[in-house]
């Protein structure tokens, strides 16, 4: 049976006007996300992950343009009225950002921040909202939830604030949660707890999740599928296990080779791939990774390449992909 995806992105482009020219932050990206599925989006800093997530939500910076088709539950997200957008944001689609300190309102108690959305979108009364808020804090592992409801954000640790942010994002029972580098601002032990929590609630609620990270180890074991992004384009897409076990794109292969396993220093900078992303205002016409690729050939400089299937659920945009031999097994329990 062919089930329609929950989220379908077709030929999405998001260009941003800057003093140094037009930044082609997202340049023809297509992807799908099914109901209840977790999709990882990985790639180096600057590859376009955040702009893509925001473009999907219709949150574009000033002097920017967006094209393509984004449908969510069959509705065209890019053509929604402001009223319909507000109905979907935070309700059917929720986002968790990097820095919970900046996403929470510092002068409003946790209870109000948790209950505002559900009272507005779900129409629940004050006492029902209070009970739901308590249950949500329990679900995300906040101890002594009664007391925490009365707290202001500054009275909690960073990890606790991010748990509260996740509770807020779940309050309206979204069908899709977009988590953009949700743990970067936290220390390593807390990072792991929060990432595991996200995967747990995603599974228990049968909710779709887009987990964005520059770190492959973050999405390993916590997502069903992964899209590897490079310079505004998708380099490789497939089931997380297959992409990690048998990376076919030279970029994914290099990234995996550069990813420290759990036994290595977790904050070692990933500087193993020499070179840097191309200038986003004038990327190469051919494969954008070609200038850094050790296997680039003349045809890599011709326009393209497009994603092509190399397995049941595995596609790669590379004219000279890696011959499949597993290079290493990343700890699939993640960090
Ligand atoms: N508001 C903006 N104005 C101008 N350029 C921007 C803006 N936001 C992003 N960019 C540019 O768009 C490109 C993609 O940025 P984006 O933030 O999506 O990358 P990313 O993969 O999410 O990286 P990071 O993990 O560092 O956020 C980069 O070249 C970035 O400099």
Q: Quick one: which atom of ligand 1 is closest to the CA of 62?
A: 1
Q: Rounded to whole angstroms, how far apart are CA atoms 46 and 55? A: 15
Q: Are residues 88 and 232 in the same domain?
A: yes
Torsion angle (degrees, nearest 10) of CA 241, 5, 181, 103: -160
Q: Which of 14, 22, 49, 234 to mutate to test the pocket of ligand 1 (most atoms within 8 A of CB)?
A: 49
Indicate if ligand 1 lies below 6 Å from the C-beta of 47: yes
pLDDT tens digit sequence for 161-192? 999 999 999 999 999 999 999 988 788 888 99
* Mean pLDDT, rounded, of the chain: 90
Q: CB–CB of 28/13 below 8 Å?
A: yes
Q: Are residues 216 and 249 in the same domain?
A: yes
CATH of the domain at 53: 3.40.50.300
Q: Are residues 111 and 152 in the same domain?
A: yes
Q: Are residues 105 and 155 in the same domain?
A: yes
Q: Quick one: which atom of ligand 1 is closest to the CA of 26?
A: 14
Q: Tell me phi and psi for residue 109, to 5 degrees.
A: -65, 155
Nearest CA to ligand 1 atom 11: 25
The answer to pTM > 0.95 is no
Q: Are residues 228 and 306 in the same domain?
A: yes
User: What mean pLDDT do residues 118-123 have?
Assistant: 89
Enumerate long-range contacts of 294-300, CB under 8 Å, 24 or more apart. 294/250, 295/250, 295/320, 296/320
Query: Does some domain include residue 46?
Result: yes
Q: How far, in Å, from the CA of 109 to the mean position of ligand 1? A: 32
Q: How far, in Å, from the CA of 23 to the mean position of ligand 1? A: 9
Q: Rounded to whole angstroms, how far apart are CA atoms 202 and 223? A: 10
Query: Does some domain include residue 203?
Result: no
Token couple for 136: 């949500």
Token couple for 39: 């999709």
Q: Which of 50, 52, 63, 233 to mutate to test the pocket of ligand 1 (most atoms within 8 A of CB)?
A: 50
Indicate if ligand 1 lies below 6 Å from the C-beta of 214: yes
Q: Quick one: which atom of ligand 1 is closest to the CA of 48?
A: 18
Q: Are residues 165 and 293 in the same domain?
A: no
Q: Are residues 80 and 108 in the same domain?
A: no
Q: Output the CA torsion sign for 296, 299, 304, 310.
A: negative
Indicate if ligand 1 lies below 6 Å from the C-beta of 24: no
Query: Does some domain include residue 6?
Result: yes
Query: Does some domain include residue 181?
Result: yes
Radius of gyration of the chain (CA): 20
Indicate if ligand 1 lies below 6 Å from the C-beta of 256: no
Q: Are residues 68 and 132 in the same domain?
A: no
Q: Are residues 75 and 109 in the same domain?
A: no
Indicate if ligand 1 lies below 6 Å from the C-beta of 45: yes
Provide the pLDDT confidence category of residue 326 given band limits of 50, 70 and 90: low
Per residue in 101-120, is it b (16+ CB within 10 Å) or e — as a string? Answer: eebbeeeeebbebbbbbbbe
pLDDT tens digit sequence for 73-110? 999 998 888 888 888 887 899 999 887 677 899 999 99
Q: Are residues 318 and 219 in the same domain?
A: yes
Provide the pLDDT confidence category of residue 121 given band limits of 50, 70 and 90: confident
Q: Are residues 169 and 254 in the same domain?
A: no
C-alpha distance from residue 106 to each of 110, 113, 289 (Å): 9, 10, 43
Q: Are residues 138 and 248 in the same domain?
A: no
Q: Rounded to whole angstroms, how far apart are CA atoms 239 and 93? A: 23
Q: CB–CB of 141/197 below 8 Å?
A: yes
Name the E strands within 231-307.
233-239
Q: Which of 330, 327, 328 is nearest to 217 (CA)?
A: 330
Residue 313 in 3-state DSSP? coil
pLDDT tens digit sequence for 269-290? 444 688 899 999 999 999 999 9
Indicate if ligand 1 lies below 6 Å from the C-beta of 46: yes
Query: Does some domain include residue 167?
Result: yes
Nearest CA to ligand 1 atom 2: 61
Q: Which of 12, 15, 16 to mutate to test the pocket of ligand 1 (most atoms within 8 A of CB)?
A: 16
Q: How far, in Å, from the CA of 189 to the mean position of ligand 1? A: 27
pLDDT tens digit sequence for 293-304? 999 999 999 998
Indicate if ligand 1 lies below 6 Å from the C-beta of 240: no
CB within 8 A of 179, min separation 6: which ones? 95, 96, 198, 209, 210, 211, 212
Query: Does some domain include residue 266?
Result: no
Query: Does some domain include residue 124?
Result: yes
Sheet containing strand 176-180, edge to edge, reads 93-96, 176-180, 208-213, 38-42, 225-230, 233-239, 314-316, 308-311
CB within 8 A of 312, min separation 6: which ones? none
- At residue 327, the pLDDT reads 55
Indicate if ligand 1 lies below 6 Å from the C-beta of 49: yes
Number of domains the chain contains: 2
- Helix, strand, coil percentages for the chain (3-state, nearest 5): 35, 25, 45
Query: Does some domain include residue 330?
Result: no
- At residue 83, the pLDDT reads 86
Q: Tell me phi and psi for residue 234, to 5 degrees.
A: -90, 125
CB within 8 A of 58, min separation 6: which ones? 77, 78, 80, 85
* Boundaries of domain holding 140: 101-173
Nearest CA to ligand 1 atom 26: 45
């Amino acid at each position: 049976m062919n089930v329609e995806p929950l989220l379908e992105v077709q030929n999405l482009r998001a260009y941003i006007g800057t003093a140094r020219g037009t930044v082609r932050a997202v340049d023809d990206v297509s992807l799908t996300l099914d109901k209840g599925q977790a999709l990882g989006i990985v790639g180096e800093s600057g590859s376009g992950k955040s702009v893509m997530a925001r473009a999907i939500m219709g949150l574009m910076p000033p002097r920017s343009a967006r094209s393509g088709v984004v449908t969510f539950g069959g509705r065209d997200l890019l053509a929604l009225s402001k009223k319909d957008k507000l109905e979907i944001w935070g309700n059917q689609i929720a986002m968790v950002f990097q820095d919970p300190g900046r996403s929470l309102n510092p002068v409003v108690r946790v209870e109000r921040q948790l209950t505002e959305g559900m009272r507005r979108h779900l129409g629940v009364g004050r006492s029902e909202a209070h009970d739901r808020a308590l249950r949500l804090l329990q679900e995300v592992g906040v101890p002594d939830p009664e007391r925490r409801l009365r707290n202001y954000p500054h009275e909690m640790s960073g990890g606790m604030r991010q748990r509260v942010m996740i509770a807020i994002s779940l309050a309206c029972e979204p069908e899709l949660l977009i988590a953009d580098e949700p743990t970067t601002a936290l220390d390593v032990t807390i990072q792991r707890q929060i990432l595991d929590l996200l995967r747990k609630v995603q599974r228990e609620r049968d909710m779709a999740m887009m987990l964005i990270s520059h770190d492959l180890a973050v999405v390993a074991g916590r997502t069903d599928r992964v899209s590897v992004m490079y310079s505004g384009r998708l380099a490789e897409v497939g089931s997380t296990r297959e992409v990690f076990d048998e990376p076919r794109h030279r970029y994914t292969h290099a990234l995996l080779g550069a990813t420290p396993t759990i036994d290595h220093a977790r904050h070692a900078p990933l500087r193993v791939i020499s070179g840097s992303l191309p200038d986003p205002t004038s990327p190469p016409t051919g494969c954008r990774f070609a200038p850094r690729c050790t296997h680039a050939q003349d045809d890599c400089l011709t326009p393209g390449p497009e994603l092509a299937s190399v397995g049941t659920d595995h596609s790669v945009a590379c004219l000279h992909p890696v011959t499949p031999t597993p290079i290493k097994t990343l700890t699939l329990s993640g960090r």
